[in-house]
Every structure is written in C-alpha cells, then in structure tokens.
Amino acid sequence: MDTVSFTKMEDGTKEEYTFLDPLYFQCREGIPEMLLALLKQMQGDRLGYQIDRYQHSLQTATRADRDGSDEETIVCALLHDIGDVLAPDNHSQAAAAILQPYISERNYWIIKHHGLFQGYYYFHHANKDRNARDRFKDHPHYQACVDFCHRWDQCSFDPNYDTMPLEHFEPMVRRVISEPWNHFD
C-alpha cells in the first residue's frame, strides 16, 4: 500500500491506520531537528537588542546549565522563545504548546507564562502593570517562573557573556524531545 484509500478519516480501516502508524512515527522523529532549525532562524535578528534572539536563547540555556538544572529544564531554557518565529504576539503560548508533549507540567507552565512574567522587568516603562504576574501568585509554579525569568531569561542579553555553543545542547534536545510522554490539558 502506498496511500490509504479513504478521503474521510471515519472511512479508514484498521489496516490503513496500521499502515499510517510508522509514517507518523517517522515524521515525529524529525521534531528535534525542526526545533533546532526554528532556533537557528533567530540568528541575526537582534530586534534592537545587543544580541540576537538565537544568542539570547543559548545564553538562557547556558545560565540554566551552569546553575545545575536538570536536562529538561535546560532544553526548555534553550527553546523558550522558539514561538517568536511563528507567533510573536503569543510566543510563550506557542512555544509551550509545541513542547507540551515532551516536558513536565511545571516546565510547560513556566514556558507558557514566561512572557507575562518577563513583563515585571519592563511593563512599567510602557504604562502597563509590571505586577500582572501576581494574578498567578497562588499557583504552585509561580515562584519557579519568577526564578526562570530572574535568574536566566531577563539577564541573557549580554554580548560579553561566555555562552556555550549550540553543539553543547543539541544532544539534550534530541533526548528530551525523543518521544512524547505527557499529554495533559
């Protein structure tokens, strides 16, 4: 069989879906490389900062690594802004949705909310409420998101920081994004 015969999913047979399964898994195996390619697309795009978003991502991951974070958290630090490429107006939610099947609920929540939590550092300059994050103050992952932003994200715009190269993180990405395990809502 080269293709399925159905044109509506409801008409598919068990044999056709059995045929499709390995093709889906083959497609899924390319996800780490696709995520790394999205990250690389941020090279050269400084948006007025002293470093580009690619370097910012590497710097954020380097800080998480040097702080002794677990591998999943380091990968999340590396990929936290990949949503910028696809959805700049809701980059945090886009990145979180992409990473959700591969990461813990804690890291998902941090990535999903980091954009709002970053606002603590600059919202007041744009006549916005810098404490908007406080509406989540009672959430169990609130402090972890505060720490992510304070220790790694908001301070990773330094052109003189000794940042680790992408090659250091690539094996981690491949391990963490190897197979979905977490399908929560």
pLDDT digits over 25-80, tens only?
A: 888 888 999 999 999 999 998 888 999 999 999 999 999 999 999 999 999 999 99
Question: The pTM is what?
Answer: 0.92
Q: Is the pLDDT of residue 1 over 90?
A: no
Half-sphere exposure of 181 (CA within 13 A, CB side): 10
Residue 174 identity: R
pLDDT tens readout for residues 88-144: 999 999 999 999 999 999 999 999 999 999 999 999 999 999 999 999 999 999 999
135 alpha-carbon distance from chain centroid: 23
Query: Is 47 within 8 Å of 41 (Cβ atoms)?
Result: no
Q: Hey, where are the domains in the chain? A: 14-176
Pick the CATH number of 14-176 from 3.40.50.2000, 3.30.70.380, 1.10.3210.10, 2.60.120.10: 1.10.3210.10
Query: Is 158 within 8 Å of 49 (Cβ atoms)?
Result: no
